[in-house]
Amino acid sequence: MLLTDLWQQRWPGCPPVGHKLREPYRLTTASTTRRSSRSPDLRDHDAMQLRYFNQTGWTAIFNGTETEIGRMVRVEGWDPATGTALVVDPQRGALRQVTDYVDFSHLERADQVVAAIPGGGWRAHWTDEGPGGSPLTEQVLAWLITSQGRATAITVDAQGHVEDADSADAFIPPGEELQ
């Protein structure tokens, strides 16, 4: 029996999502594109607050050069001799120390995902994030579990936009209605 068959037996109708955690994910915690009725008093820096997920818990930030744009790269591991962060160099096909790059700026913390589990019928609810400030409820696709024990609900809207649901006003358990 295939693993996908076992998955579908346990969680019918829910696509396996663990394979999607191989790349760093940037999920917005405040978005004006998905929930269009966002409060007008939302400060610009709040709209740009981002959360990153990867498997090491660190992201390398590069400023860019005249020939290379600035970028964020997932840290793959640590050099055993120096303790320096390692990233994949696609041109060399090897791991390379971040300090070997002239445009390396710094490391930033990322949430280290250790597991992903199906949404299990949970729903996220916002009291005024729908069209015209109406209520909005979305299905939780999955829960990302971090090394710190935090569970982050991941939702997908009707247009296919994936976001975390950290700003939800309530989470509705399976089979229950909003109180």
pLDDT at 35: 42
Question: Rounded to an integer, what distance in angstroms lies between the CA atom of residue 102 and that of residue 63?
Answer: 9
Q: On the CB side of 97, how many CA atoms lie within 13 Å of its CA?
A: 8
pLDDT score, position 6: 63
Q: How many CB atoms lie within 10 A of CB 130?
A: 15
Name the token pair of 167: 């700003």
User: How is residue 133 annotated by DSSP?
Assistant: G
The DSSP line for 88-119 is EETTTTEEEEGGGSTTEEEEEE-EEEEEEEE-
- What distance in Å separates the CA atoms of residue 140 and residue 17, rounded to the nearest whole number? 12
Domain residue ranges in the chain: 3-22+113-172, 58-109
pLDDT in tens, 111-154: 888 888 999 999 999 998 888 989 999 999 999 888 888 888 99
Q: Phi and psi at residue 44, in whole multiples of 5°?
A: -55, -40
CA-nearest of 28, 34, 3 to 18 is: 3
> Which residue did the predictor score with more confidence, 96 or 22?
96
What does pTM read for this prediction? 0.55
The reported pLDDT for the residue numbered 12 is 67
Q: Indicate whether 14 pLDDT > 70.
A: no
Q: What are the tens digits of pLDDT across the range 63-82?
A: 988 888 888 999 999 999 99
Which residue has tokens 């001799």? 81
Average pLDDT for residues 36-59, to the nearest whole number? Answer: 52
